[in-house]
Structure 1
Amino acid sequence: MTSDRGTHAGQHASEGHPGHDPAMVEDHAGHDAREAHAAHESHEGHGGHGAQGGHGGHGGHGDHGDHVGQFRRLFWIMLAIAVPVVLANAMFADLIGYTLPHSGPVTWISPVLGTVMYVWGGKPFLTGAVAEVKARQPGMMLLIALAITVAFIASWGASLGILNHELDFWWELALLIVIMLLGHWIEMRSLGQASSALESLAALLPDEAERLDGDEAVTVPTSELTTGDLVIIRPGGRIPADGTVVSGAADVDESMITGESAAVRRAVGDRVVAGTVTTDSALRVQITAVGDDTALAGIQRLVSEAQSSSSRAQVLADRAAGWLFWFALGAAVLTAIAWLILGAPESAVTRTITVLVIACPHALGLAIPLVVSIATERAARAGVLITDRRALESMRTVDAVLFDKTGTLTRGEPAVVSVAAAPGYTEDEVIELAAAVERDSEHPLGRAIVAAAEQRGLAVRAATDFQARNGVGVTATVAGAEVSVGGPGMLASHDLDALTQADAWSGQGSTVLQVIRDGAVAGAVALADEIRPESRQAIDALHERGVHVAMITGDAEAVAHSVAQSLGIDEVFAGVLPQDKGAKVKALQSAGRKVAMVGDGVNDAPALAQADVGIAIGAGTDVAIASAGVVLASDDPRSVLSVIELSRATYRKMIQNLSWAAGYNLISVPLAAGVLAPWGFTLPMEVGALLMSASTVVVAINAQLLRRLDLRPSAVLAKRSG
């Protein structure tokens, strides 16, 4: 979808407005988000994953939904089979304290059903282990496969009387397979958490819309709406497609997009998004995007693309599993050698097998998937879309945030920022006169003046005899008086002097339009790219966290420094062309900073790609570019704080879970090997197995604590200030 800002710039001369600094509103014409989206789809870096991702057994996520269903079904089937395997196991019976027959059919329940579990339920891990071996990258799959294979062989040996009865691991084999299947089901489901949360928005779109045909409202299916249609949204009604408010003002509930519960005021000229709800008043909206071009469709595409990279978070657990594999293998070899040297071959076999089984990461298999699942859900609910998990993990180390000005810290369109009235006039009267002349204007400056009048509750009167003079301004008759609106050229044509405030406004980079009535100056209006009210809060909160804040823009120095001064920004890069933005990011990195670049996705691709973390802000097709690792569904710059909070909390939980899971193994393996045997202590098999289950419960509970994290920008700010 090509931006219409370049078109408005072209209309400027035809409507006779004086030339103002074209950098005030950056010219984004020519940008085609769909081309960027296509580039994203062709990006090979986010493809499927094999052994390195720890999922050699189930490959990429092209058929993600089918894999989720397969693991879900396999988990429940194996859980059902595991119940009799565990209950009919002699070692488990001794552990709990009930008696089983020593002979007869019952003794074969665990071996027979345990074999079914090993072959059927263990297949994903066994095939994944083969892939890891071929890739020469041992990880989670190989470690799991090693443990279940050793447990399977040892258990059959014990059942047939070949090995010590203490190696009757059928119950442990069953629990191990069930827990690992649960972990992989959770992980695969987590990849779709954001998708399901956002796809549910599609159901919120109304089936029908009221389209204006002339003065008549006609109810039509939403699917029949086209760009340019004018629709009415009644109080409490849902907006059927993306559009711009052309009449009315209402509080709009955008929580399904942004996660913020508070309604947002939308008036003439404001953009509204499909699926959001008008709460108190009716609106007339001109449709600007339908179908695949809507913000909602753009978000859904981004989530779909993100699914293939979300599992990269598993690499941390895989690396730990790889280390643990060599640790377990080394410990097993040393155990066997030590007990053979001591002249206890039976203990050598028992202890070596015990080490290999206990080394299997019950808790490690759940440590990352549970955290990823919950973090993804919390992020999606807050309108934070993670397109590259590594970007989220890197966000916690960022110490510099570089904001693009236009469309990020500002709204990307002009707004009336100041009004001055000559003696005998009020500010409202000046705005009324200017708005009457600009009433039918399509130029951004004219629309901004009309919007200011409506926001003040002023009646915009009709004007006649409209005339436009290139480079001078516009003139019309309002209530019998000749009213002109323009810049220095208009003043010169009337041989008039500007009001004193005009020079100061111009020095700050504002565009100043004079309002002349019947040959005398009635007042002046200053227009500038409106700063978002949330920007100051975002920057103050970043400063509280010790983050260096910089701003980059194509605007002139005066405009840039005026915005930077009002927001308290530390460093400014002004007059930067889009293709040079990446170099500015690199300059910050050369100074030793970890940089997050925040832009609206328009002409920011080089900078987003160069940054340590690229963050595209603002929902819609304009953000569908491959360069951003994080996409914020809302246009609220405070959401950057949500990303930092999520990154830190997620990493903290991952490390806690990995430390607990790996720490258990590092302690239990030497004990299982008999390192304290000279002092009369050897870790009983059943105790080791119980501790393994306990460690899994601890990891699960710790991950669930992440659900308490509230990522709404307002909540993150309140938490910090509190």
Structure 2
Amino acid sequence: MFCFKYNSASQMDHSKMNHNHNPEMGHAGHNHQAMIDDFRKRFYVVLVLTVPIMLLSPMIQHFIGVSWQFPGSTYILFALSTVVFLYGGWPFLTGWLQEIKEKNPGMMFLIGFAISVAYLYSSVVVFGLAGVDFFWELTTLILIMLLGHWIEMKSVAGASKELELLVQLMPDDAHKVQGDKVEDVKTSLLVKDDVVLIKPGERVAADGIILEGEAYLNESMLTGESKPVARQKGAKVIAGSINGNSAFKITVSHTAKDSYLSQVIKLVDDAQRSKSQTQLLADTAAKWLTVIALVSGILTFAYWYITGQSFAFAMERMVTVIVICCPHALGLAVPLVVAKSTALSAKNGLLIKNRQEFENSRKITTIVFDKTGTLTIGKFEVSKTVSLNSHYSENEIIRFSAALEQNSQHPIATGILQKAKDLSIALTPVKDFNALTGKGVKGTIEGKEVMMVSPGYLKENDISIPEGFAASDTETFGFLLIDNDLIGYVALSDEIRPESFDAIRILKQNNIKSILLTGDNKTVAASVCKTLEMESFIAEVLPEQKLQKIKELQNAGEFVAMTGDGVNDAPALAQADIGIAVGSGSDIAAETAGIVLVNSNPKDIVNLVLFGKATHKKMIQNLIWATGYNVIALPLAAGVLYNQGILLSPAIGAVLMTCSSVIVAINASLLKVDATGKGN
């Protein structure tokens, strides 16, 4: 027994993919395919039975001018039609009963009601009631409905093909290293701190850290980044990415269920299940359409019967109206677009945690950008080291700075540590390390209190900036304090990403303002703002001040999207109309952001905005088609043009209803994100 019920609350379980790492997902995936196969089998059985039913139908014989009546032919017609009704109509009958049980009448209720009325009336005619049966209409109606459901189920499955591909990225087996031996084990059995060998051309078996070797990894299916990325010892790797030509070993970071890929699949599944205002609108419209179909069908029957038409004619009109008004296309209109857009987003490194925020991206008037790592490459390089104390050489400035920064994750720390490595400077242990949010870091080194701070910290604490110091419009400065004495400073430079220029340009073309919000100094911020031709900049702000800046923009009437790292920027991300966590890599647990971008590429932010617009556009197109079709088809089904010779049969009504659903499915499947960030 199969009942494939379409409604927006349960369009299909997108997590139910054929996934051999998750028995439940695999079982459900097979169930869905079994349902498709079942509809196909029922369709072919009914197709074979349709031929003798058509030939034995008195009305069809009258149309073609022949008479094949013989004793018992009416009962054979009844028997064949009963098989079609019970076997071919079974999914619709069970669906009808289920919707009655749930007190939620919808498409299955309408179809089940229509075919039951047609069958019962025709059966009574066979056994003595004066009238004409329409077994052939019943048979063709069921035949077309089975075909329509078969096609639509395949379309729904196709809408989640991208997600299924994500599910299949995880390899079945992993090469676990145990001493001098390598043993093949199931990926699902890997645990934290296991060592795994990744051979050339294989997929990475688990999230982890490179222990030995280096590689170029293709992460395009996970992040949307088309170019292979270099990963060296100590770098993070993501499960499912494809290794290049060299072997390397990784230390597993966590189990498969906690992997980046598993989190992505869960996010996509959750997003596909969540309802936005657009989908709630479609739900409401579908429920009203069900009521309208029933009322219209009854009124149509009453009108034609009272005005003198035969009982059979009035019954046929009622059945046609009910069938043609099934809210099938309306029920598919939004969920299919949701399934397609969330899966496509995940493939392109756009992870949707809040469905409503994604659809609201079309309303954005201002995007607030972080600078470091988003608009700039985020790879700081030491451009200058200056000692202000004769007891400390430039190398000593780097030694203390690098020792202090070894516990920091900030891009500036990375640049200083790289400089120490280039100079072969050994790092001294640091004690009592503490990060001063938005101001710098401090700790104890060799018994001294050491601080690496921003120019803003010097101003706040009335520490004189050294003579001859001149702020550069391309450099960021870190000042070294030892026991509260200013010892020297390090200048670091960061390049603007090439993609930033296109991103800001495309936003301007779409009338979206871009504002730079950074804790860096005003000179650097002004330079970046001017170079990229952004609207304005706000510099030297602490994380807690960013929230206030977002409020000020909102109070000015702007619909604001905020980009941030999801940690220091959490208050501002929560305050913004749309919070976008960027540069999260394999960590996608940015609770305050509704959307997570795997990469820090500003082009991805443009992709997000334009794809959000395209997704909403597809939803509206589908809703317009689904409702517009009913506005036109219902009167024709009721027979308003009967006197002009235009009359739709139940079978033609079923064809039109199926076509409307298929058109909606095809339109949803055309949604895509191209390389320029223009959603279609």
Contact 1:395 1:613 in 2 (8 A): yes
Equivalent residue for 2:140, pick from 171, 174, 178: 171
C-alpha separation in 2, matches of 1:465 and 1:74: 65
Structure 1: runs of 5 or more not aligned: 1-49, 134-140, 212-216, 423-429, 477-484, 490-496, 515-520
By how many angstroms is 1:440 displaced? 7.5
The equivalent of 2:506 in structure 1 is 541
Which of 114, 120, 132 is equivalent to 1:156?
120
Matched, 1:360 2:326: yes
Q: TM-score, normalised by structure 1?
A: 0.68
In the TM superposition, residue 218 of structure 1 has moved relative to its aligned partner by 8.1
Greater alpha carbon shift after TM alignment, 218-227 vs 164-173 = 218-227
Q: Distance in 2 between matches of 1:432 and 1:247?
A: 30
Q: What secondary structure is seen at the aligned counterpart in 1 of 2:225?
A: coil
- Say which SS state the counterpart of residue 203 (structure 1) adopts: coil
Report the equivalent of 1:42: none
Relative distance call for 1:206 and 1:619 in structure 2 (3 A) is farther
Would you say 1:636 and 2:609 are equivalent positions? no
1:208-223, aligned counterparts within 5 Å?
A: 208=176
Q: How does 1:667-678 map to 2 (within 5 A)?
A: 667-678=632-643
Matched residue SS, 1:503? coil
Q: Is the 8 A contact 2:525 2:537 kept in 1?
A: yes
After superposition, the Cα gap between the structure-2 partners of 1:438 and 1:291, relative to the gap in structure 1 and judged at 3 Å, is farther
Q: Deviation per CA, 1:684-715: give whole Å up to 9, x if none.
A: 44443433344344334433433xx344xxx1
Whole-Å separation in 1 of the counterparts to 2:146 and 2:26: 22
Contact 1:206 1:238 in 2 (8 A): no
1:699 aligns with one of 664, 667, 672: 664
Residues 648-674 of structure 1, C-alpha deviations (whole Å, 9 max, x = no match): 333333333333333222212101212
- Letter of the structure 2 residue corresponding to residue 170 of structure 1: T
User: Equivalent residues in 2 for 1:438-449 (5 A)?
Assistant: 442=406, 447-449=414-416
Match among 38, 44, 53 for residue 83 of structure 1: 44
1:186–1:249 distance in 2 versus 1, CA, 3 Å: same
Structure 2 partner of 1:109: 80
The Cα offsets for residues 606-628 of structure 1, whole Å up to 9 and x where unpaired, read as: 44444443333344564324443
Corresponding residue for 2:676?
716
Contact kept in structure 1, 2:358 and 2:595, CA below 8 Å: yes
Q: Contact between 2:207 and 2:260, CA under 8 Å: does it hold in 1?
A: yes
Q: Distance in 2 between matches of 1:249 and 1:588?
A: 46
Contact 1:232 1:283 in 2 (8 A): yes
The answer to whether the Cα contact below 8 Å between 1:155 and 1:169 also exists between their aligned partners in 2 is: yes
Counterpart residue number, 1:137: none
Q: Offset of 1:638 from its aligned partner?
A: 1.6
**Matched-pair contact (CA < 8 Å) for 2:8–2:331:** no
Correspondence list, 1:423-438, <5 A: none
Measured in 1, the distance between the counterparts of 2:557 and 2:366 equals 10
- For 2:558, the equivalent position in structure 1 comes to 593
Name 1:343's counterpart in structure 2. Answer: 308
Tell whether the 8 Å contact from 1:251 to 1:264 is kept in structure 2 after alignment: yes
Unmatched tracts of structure 2, length 5 or more: 18-23, 388-392, 434-440, 456-464, 482-486
CA distance in 2, matches of 1:651, 1:467: 53
Could you tell me how far apart the structure 1 residues matched to 2:652 and 2:243 are?
Answer: 61
Query: Paired residue for 1:127?
Result: 98
Cα 1:351–1:244 shift into 2, 3 Å: closer
Distance 1:533 1:344, change over 3 A: same
Helix, strand or coil for the counterpart of 1:202? coil
Partner Cα distance (1:306, 1:397) in 2? 19
Partner of 2:472: 505
Judge conservation of contact 2:382–2:419 (CA < 8 Å) in 1: no
Secondary structure of residue in 1 paired with 2:566: coil
> What is the aligned partner in structure 2 of residue 653 from structure 1?
618
Amino acid in structure 2 at the alignment position of 1:85: V
Asked if structure 1 preserves the Cα contact closer than 8 Å seen for 2:326 and 2:657, the reply is no
- Tell whether the 8 Å contact from 1:54 to 1:314 is kept in structure 2 after alignment: no
Q: Which has the higher contact order (CA 8 A, sep 6+)?
A: 1
1:677-696 to structure 2, matched below 5 A, reads 677-696=642-661
Aligned positions, number:
616
Cα RMSD (Å): 5.2
Task: Supply the distance in 2 between the matched residues of 1:262 and 1:539 (Cα, whole angstroms).
Answer: 22
1:289-328 aligned within 5 A = 294-303=259-268, 305-309=270-274, 314-328=279-293
Q: Which residue of 2 aligns with 1:55?
A: 10
Distance 2:44 2:153 in 1: 20
Q: Give the Cα–Cα distance (whole angstroms) in 1 for the partners of residues 230 and 182 of structure 2.
A: 26
Residue 341 of structure 1 deviates from its aligned partner by 5.0
C-alpha distance in structure 2 between counterparts of 1:450 and 1:586, whole Å: 37
For each residue in 1:119-147, what CA deviation from the matched residue of structure 2 results, as whole angstroms up to 9, or x when unmatched? 444434542354354xxxxxxx5244123
1:73 is aligned to: 34
Judge conservation of contact 2:170–2:239 (CA < 8 Å) in 1.
no
How has the CA–CA distance of structure 1 residues 539 and 357 changed in structure 2, closer, same or farther, with 3 Å as cutoff? Answer: same
Amino acid at match of 2:49: A
Partners of 2:106 and 2:327 within 8 A in 1: no
Cα distance in 2 between the residues matched to 1:268 and 1:546: 44
Residue 631 of structure 1: how far off its partner (Å): 2.7
Shift of 1:58: 9.2
1: CA distance, partners of 2:566 / 2:453: 33
Q: Cα deviation per residue 1:232-283 (whole Å; 9 max; x = unaligned)?
A: 9787676666566799876442223212221234568865444445546788
Tell me if structure 2 keeps the 8 A contact 1:148–1:177. Answer: no
| Partner Cα separation in structure 2 for residue 279 and residue 188 of structure 1 | 32
687-696 or 281-290, which moves further after superposition? 281-290
The amino acid across from 2:415 in the alignment is: A
Partner Cα distance (2:454, 2:632) in 1? 80
Q: Give the Cα separation in 2 of the matches to 1:533 and 1:654.
A: 34
Partner amino acid, structure 1, of 2:623: L
Query: What does the per-residue CA deviation read over 1:297-327, in whole Å, with 9 as the maximum and x for residues that have no partner?
Result: 5434534544542798754543332342343
Q: Which residue of the partner structure matches residue 395 of structure 1?
A: 361
Q: Which residue matches 2:588?
A: 623
Task: Evaluate the alpha carbon distance shift between residue 453 and residue 132 of structure 1 in structure 2; reply closer, same or farther with a 3 A threshold.
Answer: farther
Match of 2:110 among 146, 165, 189: 146
Question: What residue is the counterpart of 2:459 in the other structure?
Answer: none
The structure-2 alpha-carbon separation of the partners of 1:194 and 1:582, relative to structure 1 and needing over 3 Å to count, comes to: farther
TM-score scaled by structure 2?
0.72
* 1:144-182, Cα deviation, whole Å (9 max, x unpaired): 412331222223312431564347423313433563476
In structure 2, the CA distance between the partners of 1:283 and 1:532, relative to structure 1 (3 Å rule), is farther
Alpha-carbon distance, 1:195 to partner? 4.9
Q: Which residue of 1 aligns with 2:390?
A: none
The amino acid across from 1:386 in the alignment is I
- Matches of 1:98 and 1:615 in 2, distance apart? 70
Question: 2:140–2:651: 8 Å Cα contact kept in structure 1?
Answer: no
SS in 2 for 1:504: coil
Q: Is the 8 A contact 1:68 1:189 kept in 2?
A: no
Could you say what secondary structure the match of 1:83 adopts? helix
Distance 2:454 2:666 in 1: 68
Distance 1:159 1:262, change over 3 A: same
CA distance in 2: counterparts of 1:669 and 1:582, whole angstroms: 53
Change over 3 Å in CA distance of 1:219–1:77 after alignment to 2: closer
Supply the distance in 2 between the matched residues of 1:395 and 1:226 (Cα, whole angstroms).
38
Match in the other structure for 1:207? 175
Counterpart check, 1:662 vs 2:627: yes
CA deviation profile, 1:323-363 (whole Å, cap 9, x unmatched):
42343344335434543553335343332232112212454
Distance 2:208 2:419 in 1: 20
Three-state SS of the structure 2 residue aligned to 1:549 is strand
Corresponding residue for 2:458? Answer: none
Distance 1:112 1:282, change over 3 A: closer
